[in-house]
Amino acid sequence: MSWKVTALAPRPIIEAALIAHEDAWDWDSEIIVSGSEIAEDKPDDWRLEAWLDRKPTRADKAALTRLFTGKAPPFQIEELPETDWVTQSQAGIEPIRAGRFYIRTPDFPASAEPGVVDFVIPASQAFGTGQHATTAGCLAMLTHMKAQGLVIRNFADIGTGTGLLAFAAFALWPRALGTASDIDAVCYDVVYDNALANGIAMGSGLGQLAMTVADGMENPVLQANSPYDLIMANILAGPLVELAPDFADALVPGGHLLLAGLLETQEAAVRKACRRAGLRLAARQVNGDWSILWLRKRHRYDGREA
């Protein structure tokens, strides 16, 4: 059985708690936390939800309480039936159009619109179906980058989830070398299955995707395949700040970095870390509350902030 803890509060309080969660370096990885608005017609009323595979202990509840500044809102604790909640939440979701891409589950037919790249991404244990604003924003930004004349020969997708962003990069630059990684080992098989369903070749050659399980950039496959023309990372603001120097080191001079997974309120901290690493902002988009950043590595870094 699994358990869920829910706290209701105004949006600023929940957003602050989510930021505190990202900054908690010693957070128990078995406690999965998310936040969202309660309903579309109540945009200022939010909830924080935490999922555990055990009954919440006193220590678990204390950890959640520490996410809130001042008095924490009351917690509602409920026992849940054994369910794959990621699959459940993604089942039957509507297709989306983002940039040149049409993303759907197998429940829906392919798009008949000319020039649109169709991807089938089933509901699965990995995140990244394109429905989230950050993934859709990345697809739109990749389309914009291609329209600006970028030529990508070697890319990496960090925190790939379902593999969708890597697949999109191949659709735009089909002869590139591609590398994808995720900290979650379940993504390894998910990416392979999705690649097969979408006609993406797995391997280490031109037009092929190499998949590895990695925490950050210190991984033999990622290091062997670097330096990259393009790195994509749709993860969380905290890791983006921490990994900014590693991303810069793994890019060729003038290389490109596409970042997402950060709220607008977190953008300043991420951009500051990138400036210190010699990465300059080329373009930004906002999709809902989320920022999508395109940055470029200087051809020659002189140690000063942009």
Instruction: Assess whether 17 and 101 both reside in one domain.
Output: no
Whether 209 is in a domain gets the answer yes
Residues 141 and 186 both lie in one domain = yes
Domain-embedded: residue 305: no
Q: What digits encode the pLDDT tens for the residues 128-156? A: 555 568 888 999 999 999 999 999 999 99
Residues 118 and 14 both lie in one domain: no
306 occurs within a structural domain: no
Residues 6+ apart with CB under 8 A from 304: none
List the single range of 108-117, 149-158, 208-217 with lowest mean pLDDT: 108-117
Shared domain check, 176 and 271: yes
pLDDT of residue 304: 39
Three-state DSSP at 75 gives: strand
Domain that holds residue 69: 2-83
pLDDT of amino acid 164: 95
244 or 91: which leads in pLDDT: 244
- Assess if residue 163 is contained within a domain: yes
- Confirm if 129 and 96 have CB atoms less than 8 A apart: no
Residues 103 and 39 in one domain: no
The pLDDT of residue 93 is above 70: no
For residue 14, is it within any domain? yes
How crowded is the C-beta side of 232, counted as CA atoms within 13 Å?
30
- Count other C-beta atoms under 10 Å from residue 211's C-beta: 24
Picking from 115-124, 130-139, 176-185, 189-198, which range would have the lowest pLDDT averaged per residue?
A: 130-139
- For residue 303, is it within any domain? no
- pLDDT of 29 higher than 90: no
Q: Do both 102 and 64 map to the same domain? A: no
pLDDT of residue 131: 53
CA 196 to chain centre: 22
pLDDT of residue 125: 45
**162 and 224 share one domain:** yes
Domain end point (choices 83, 117, 148): 83
Domain count, the chain: 2
pLDDT tops 50 at residue 301: no
Confidence at residue 221, expressed as pLDDT on a 0 to 100 scale:
96
CATH no. for residue 32? 3.30.70.100
Based on the domain organization, do 75 and 216 belong to the same domain? no
271 is a domain residue: yes
Higher pLDDT: 34 or 240? It is 240
**pLDDT, mean of residues 195-217:** 95
- The residues, any chain, with a CB within 8 Å of residue 271's CB and separated by 6 or more, are 281, 293
> Does residue 227 sit in the same domain as residue 170?
yes
For the beta carbon of residue 96, count every other beta carbon within 10 angstroms.
16
Q: Tell me, what's the pLDDT at 81?
A: 67
Name the token pair of 79. Answer: 């026992």
Structure tokens at 266: 């977190």
**Mean pLDDT computed over every residue of the chain:** 87
Tell me the per-residue pLDDT of 214-225, one tens digit each, with 9 for 90 and over.
989 999 999 999
Confidence of residue 32 (pLDDT cuts 50, 70, 90): confident
CATH code of the domain in which 293 resides: 3.40.50.150
Region 245-264 average pLDDT: 95
pLDDT at 303 over 70: no
Domain's final residue, options 83, 99, 122: 83
Instruction: Give the CA distances from residue 295 to residues 12, 155, 157, 201, 223, in Å, rounded to whole numbers and listed in that order.
Output: 28, 14, 15, 28, 21
Examine the domain organization and report whether 75 and 176 are in the same domain: no
Q: What is the mean pLDDT of residues 257-276?
A: 93
Domain boundary among 83, 112, 129: 83
Rounded to two decimals, what is the model's pTM?
0.72
Query: Which of 152, 150, 178 lies closest to 163 in space, CA to CA?
Result: 178
Q: Does 76 share its domain with 113?
A: no
154 shares its domain with 138: yes
| 302 domain residue, yes or no | no
Q: Is the model's pLDDT at 163 over the cut of 50? A: yes
| pLDDT mean over 102-112 | 86
